[in-house]
Amino acid sequence: MPTSTAHHRRIVVTTALPYANGDIHIGHLFEHFITDYWVRFQKMRGNFCLSICADDTHGTPIMVAARKQGITPEALIAKTFAAHRRDFAAFDIAFDHYSSTNSDTNRALCHEVYQQMQDAGHVETRGVRQSYCPRDEMFLPDRFVRGSCPACNATDQYGDQCEVCSATYSPVDMRDGKCALCGEKPVTRESNQHFFKLEHFRDFLKQWVIDGVDQEIVHKLDEWLQDRLKDWCISRDAPYFGFEIPAQPGKYFYVWVDAPLGYIATTKEWCQQHEQDFDRLWKDAGTEIYHNIGKDIVYFHALFWPAMLKTAGFTLPRRIFVHGMLTSEGEKLSKSRGTFIRAATWLKHLDPEWLRYYLAAKINGRISDVDFSFNDFRARVNSDLIGKITNVASRGAQLLQRKLDRRLGSLPPEGRKLVAQAAAQSEAIAAHYEKRDFSKAVLAIRAIVDEANRYCNDAVPWESIKHDHERARGTITTMLNLFRIAAVYLKPILPSYCQRVEMLFAEAQPFTWASAQETCEQRTLNDFQPLLTRVTAAAVTRMGKETQAEQQAEQA
pLDDT digits (tens, 9 = 90+) for 44-84: 999 999 999 999 999 989 999 999 999 999 999 999 999 99
Output the CA torsion 326→331→337→339 (10° steps).
-10
Range 194-214 average pLDDT = 95
CB atoms within 10 A of CB 483: 30
pLDDT of 505 reads: 98
DSSP H/E element including 431: helix 426-434
Range 308-335 average pLDDT = 93
pLDDT of 1 reads: 60
DSSP H/E element including 186: none
Q: Is residue 13 within 8 Å of 293, Cβ to Cβ?
A: no
Please provide the distance, in angstroms rounded to a whole number, between the alpha carbons at the two ends of the chain.
52
Higher pLDDT, 141 or 518: 518
Range 256-262 average pLDDT = 97
On the question of pLDDT at 22 being above 50, the answer is yes
Mean pLDDT taken over the chain: 95
Range 205-224 average pLDDT = 90
On the question of pLDDT at 7 being above 90, the answer is no
Range 114-136 average pLDDT = 95
pLDDT of 160 reads: 86
pTM as predicted:
0.93
pLDDT of 161 reads: 87
On the question of pLDDT at 230 being above 80, the answer is yes
- Among the residue ranges 12-21, 72-81, 174-183, 191-200, the one predicted with the least confidence is 174-183
Residue 3's pLDDT band (cuts 50, 70, 90)? very low
Range 95-103 average pLDDT = 98
- Among the residue ranges 90-94, 172-176, 414-418, the one predicted with the least confidence is 172-176
361 CB-contact burial (10 Å; exposed 0-12 / middle 13-18 / buried 19+): buried
Q: Is residue 259 within 8 Å of 56, Cβ to Cβ?
A: yes
pLDDT 10s digits, 140-172: 888 889 999 999 999 999 988 888 898 888 898
Domains of the chain in start order, with CATH, are: 390-517 (1.10.730.10)
Q: Is residue 90 within 8 Å of 347, Cβ to Cβ?
A: yes
pLDDT of 172 reads: 87
Q: Is residue 134 within 8 Å of 185, Cβ to Cβ?
A: no
pLDDT of 120 reads: 98
Range 522-530 average pLDDT = 97
On the question of pLDDT at 4 being above 50, the answer is no
Nearest-CA neighbor of 325 among 26, 19, 21? 26
pLDDT of 32 reads: 98
Residue 204's pLDDT band (cuts 50, 70, 90)? very high
pLDDT of 442 reads: 98
Q: Is residue 336 within 8 Å of 551, Cβ to Cβ?
A: yes
On the question of pLDDT at 212 being above 50, the answer is yes
Please tell me what DSSP assigns to residue 328. Answer: E
Please state at what angle helix 215-226 crosses helix 202-212, rounded to 10 degrees.
Answer: 170
pLDDT of 2 reads: 46
Range 460-481 average pLDDT = 96
Q: What's the Cα-to-Cα distance from 21 to each of 140, 144, 180, 325, 423, rounded to whole Å?
A: 17, 14, 16, 20, 46
